[in-house]
Structure 1
């Protein structure tokens, strides 16, 4: 994407690896159409692959739903639900084992090809948005050690503390800042993700309704108008 942004800027002679995060952010804000087209090419390619793959999520993707949102600074991200064919119930040992085989919260060994990806993409760092509605991180970082992956009782205090997430993945104490990820998917996508198993129709409906009804940032309309003009 950086190369496309530099071409749009008339600076195709510059090596994309030589521009820093501030310059990258400026280019993203200047060329939202380039960013959006690049993002959708990646998303469509990913979905084309996932529809035929049976390894990444431990089964065939039989259906999906998504919504794309834009951050205040113009970067798009995807909220998506996928339904996996013949996935065992997460209330069973087989279901928990399937989750553990495709989801992780661990920092891999430094010799692993995933190490740099996890360190660069999956480590939570507090920003102002973490505490915009509270004095503590609303994403619950750092997260507590968890010896075994388990499903939460929706009526429990743990469910509330976990931000409405129905499943808690096993986690070592030293991995408290790692966001949930799929090792296989991270190798392909090479960007931040938050993988969360859903075990009930209610949790899926809640997630979809939440993002269907969520409004875009209030300043987005003005930015869209400015770009169109």
Structure 2
């Protein structure tokens, strides 16, 4: 069934779609709460869920999950950092060739740029989701540079220039899903050392960020949990929360978020109307 046909079915019977979605979620929460669930012994302690509806009527959810005994991030504690990375690698993946489910499901995880994800920054059009993601040899929690590390304006401009070049190369690489370039080969391709590369990634950070282990051909894949993906068979984007304040702001933003999406048809109608004003 093609995409247009699916959209027609959703538009013609949104009530049935929502009921089916609700039933799937109910079953999913039961599995996630089970002792033998996908969290490898970490019990689901609490959750916050918000359901939103896209313009065509298809529902999706935003959820925050609290897992019992999950590690807490402390940038000043190497043991805490190590435990967090181990936890992340155990539960979150961007592997483009999973063994737990069909590779076809990975296509659900591949980001496709659209008008909704583009924004203008310093004269450049970039993806507001930060895609393509930067490849990494291993999962790392990167911190912004401290006050003791100062960059001159010229140094920052040079790093930003190199970053744009790297992003353009990643865009090219990401179009070839069969690309087998390794991380080390990628560094040679962009003519950078690993130290220079990590510095480039860190220089514009304003808070700690998880950078998942990721091959160059996985830079468009959103993070997923393998067990959840094999059961739910739907797109997801999973993140490990480093900052409790950011978590709080997330809740507030989505509690008060308005439904302001606009379909292509409505945008065209609005643009046509503006011509006559």
The TM-score range, normalised by the shorter chain, is: 0.7 to 0.9
Q: Distance in 2 between matches of 1:24 and 1:165?
A: 40
SS at match of 2:97: coil
Aligned-partner Cα distance in 1 for 2:131–2:262: 28
Pairing partner for 2:221 from 157, 162, 178: 178
Instruction: Give 1:150 shift.
Output: 2.5
- Distance in 2, matches of 1:195 and 1:149, equals 14
Q: Which runs of 5+ in 2 are unaligned?
A: 74-79, 147-199, 264-277
Equivalence for 2:195: none
In structure 2, distance between residues paired with 1:133 and 1:40? 37
Per the TM alignment, residue 113 of structure 1 is displaced from its structure 2 partner at its CA by 2.9
Displacement of 1:143: 1.1
Q: Deviations over 1:50-69 (max 9, x none)?
A: 11145422311000001011
Q: CA deviation at 1:75?
A: 1.2
Secondary structure, aligned partner of 2:126: coil
SS at match of 1:24: helix
Following superposition, the deviation at residue 95 of structure 1 comes to 2.1
**Post-superposition offset of 1:112:** 6.0
CA RMSD of aligned residues (A): 2.7
Is 1:130 the counterpart of 2:120 in the alignment?
A: no
Instruction: Tell me which residue corresponds to 2:177.
Output: none
1:145 to 135, 138, 142: 135
Who is 1:116 aligned against?
104
Contact 1:69 1:78 in 2 (8 A): yes
Q: Which has the larger radius of gyration?
A: 2
Question: Which residue number in structure 1 is paired with residue 46 of structure 2?
Answer: 63
Q: Note the 1:1-229 alignment, pairs <5 A.
A: 19-58=1-40, 59-90=42-73, 91-108=80-97, 113-118=101-106, 120-131=107-118, 135-153=125-143, 166-217=209-260
Q: What are structure 1's unaligned runs of at least 5 residues?
A: 1-18, 221-229
Partners of 1:133 and 1:164 in 2: CA distance: 22
Contact 1:159-1:166 within 8 A present in 2 as well: no
Rounded Cα–Cα distance in structure 2 between residues aligned with 1:165 and 1:195: 16
Secondary structure of residue in 1 paired with 2:231: helix
DSSP 3-state at the match of 1:136: strand
Give the 3 Å change call, closer, same or farther, for CA 35–202 of structure 1 in structure 2: same
Asked whether the equivalents of residues 100 and 149 of structure 1 are also in contact (C-alpha less than 8 Å), the reply is yes
For residues 79 and 112 of structure 1, do their structure 2 counterparts lie closer, same or farther at Cα, with a shift above 3 Å needed?
closer
CA drift of 1:218 comes to 6.2
Contact 1:124 1:179 in 2 (8 A): yes
Give the corresponding residue for 2:158.
none
Give the conservation status (yes or no) of the 8 Å contact 2:100–2:226.
no
SS in 2 for 1:194: coil
